[in-house]
Amino acid sequence: MAEHLSQSELDYPFKLLEYFNGFRISKVSEEEMLKFMGLMNSTWVIDGHDIVTAFDLSSFKTVIDLGGCSGALARELAKEYPSSTVTVLDLPAVVQTAQRHFAQQDDTICFQEGDFFEGEIPPADLYILARIIHDWKEDKNLKLLKKIHTACHPGGGVLIAEALLFENRRGPTMVQMFSLNMLVQTEGKEHPPSHYTRLLTDAGFRDVQVCRTGKSYDAILALK
């Protein structure tokens, strides 16, 4: 799909990232926000099923998708695990836009306004961080993961969805391109699995598992 997009279209999500996930979202017009959220929504409509089925998540009965945007990935999880209660926690402007433009009749998920960096993180069995960690520097990510670990129920965990580099960082080519964009447009970059394993272990998590899905994004699960 990427080869049919212009460079400006490929760059667009990265140019807006500075306004999302804790940045200056108040300066984004609703039109810009809708375009960004539409791109994120399409991503998880295409790749979401592979993320939520990479591991058996049936034991996690309360799930919070932190920075879950339109709710597309959360809906994929709710569809696969109907006995779980799934909530999207995101900034107020994002939640309000999602409810106006992306809500579904008889929706299977809930939305909650909040700031997972500055505010409280509600307790849950499982937290999802999908395309969040790659936005930020390591110290900020470690602080966030420690905060999640504290809020997480015993036996719970965190599911991370990111594009993973090879351990030697020499591929995949598309992930290298993602990483270059992230370096230019945000504080973060893409990483190999060992980086996430170390970060999660330092935050107090254990039993880190990695699944390369064969699609654009891969999955990492760690337990408390």
3-state secondary structure of 16: helix
DSSP string covering 128-155, please?
A: EEES-GGGS-HHHHHHHHHHHHHHEEEE
What count of Cα atoms within 13 Å lies in the side-chain half-sphere of residue 135? 20
Burial of 66 (0-12, 13-18, 19+ CB in 10 A): buried
Domain 2-223 listed as CATH 3.10.20.600: no
pLDDT digits (tens, 9 = 90+) for 121-174: 999 999 999 999 988 899 999 999 999 999 999 999 999 999 999 899 886 777
From 4, 134, 191, 195, active-site residue: 134
134 labelled catalytic: yes
Full-model pTM: 0.85
Domain residues of the chain, as ranges? 2-223
Which of 96, 50, 103, 117 lies closest to 72, judged by CA?
103
pLDDT digits (tens, 9 = 90+) for 177-201: 766 666 656 667 888 999 999 999 9
Is residue 41 pLDDT above 50, yes or no? Answer: yes
Residue 27: the pLDDT is 58
